[in-house]
Amino acid sequence: MVKSTIFMLVLAGGAQAADCEGPNLRFIESAPWDRFELVMGIQPLMSVTVDLRGSAGQLIFDTADGGTGVDVFQPLRDEGGTTAGVVADGAQAVRVALRDGAPHSRAVFSIDVDDRLKVSDLGQIRVTGGEMAGASVVFETVAGNILRAVFDAENRAQVCP
């Protein structure tokens, strides 16, 4: 059962506290794979969910050739510490299970992310921090607590309980 403890904080790049002990997720725009790098906080985590629906860039996951996204596509891929599942092309949310969400450990997964803006900073194939801003993250702890954060314009989502 998921407990209803919820922490929510939106932080802007330089304002993130160095002593913050909550989990954080960073998005890195790269080719050929866009990456999400997760650092667990003091609580062990079971999963992380990325929800792009609130993003300024109207972002989607581009996982199939000829699908919703632009040119390059990449399915969800484990790059260390996650269990990669299948994500439908054009989906706006993905839940990634963690193999070992021990406190202060790291996990990385990759998947192509595209924006759907008619006019965007770097074209629809590449995502800037301003376009990721507003997307949300749910961190689920092993104890069943839900921690929430929102991506800032620096491509970071962090919980500081």
CATH number, domain of 132, equals 2.60.40
In this model, does residue 20 exceed pLDDT 60? yes
pTM summary value: 0.83
Task: Kindly state whether residue 33 falls inside one of the protein's structural domains.
Answer: yes
Domain that holds residue 39: 8-13+22-156
Cis status of the peptide bond prior to 23, with omega within 30 of 0: no
* Least confident segment among 30-34, 75-79, 109-113: 30-34
Of the candidates 84, 74, 131, 135, which has an alpha carbon nearest to the alpha carbon of residue 109? 84
Structural domain contains residue 2: no
- In-domain check, residue 37: yes
Q: Pinpoint the alpha helices (H) of the chain.
A: 129-132
What distance in Å separates the CA atoms of residue 145 and residue 19, rounded to the nearest whole number? 21
Mean pLDDT of 139-159: 96
For residues 37 and 6, give the distance between their C-alpha atoms in angstroms, rounded to a whole number.
22
Q: Establish if 1 belongs to a structural domain.
A: no
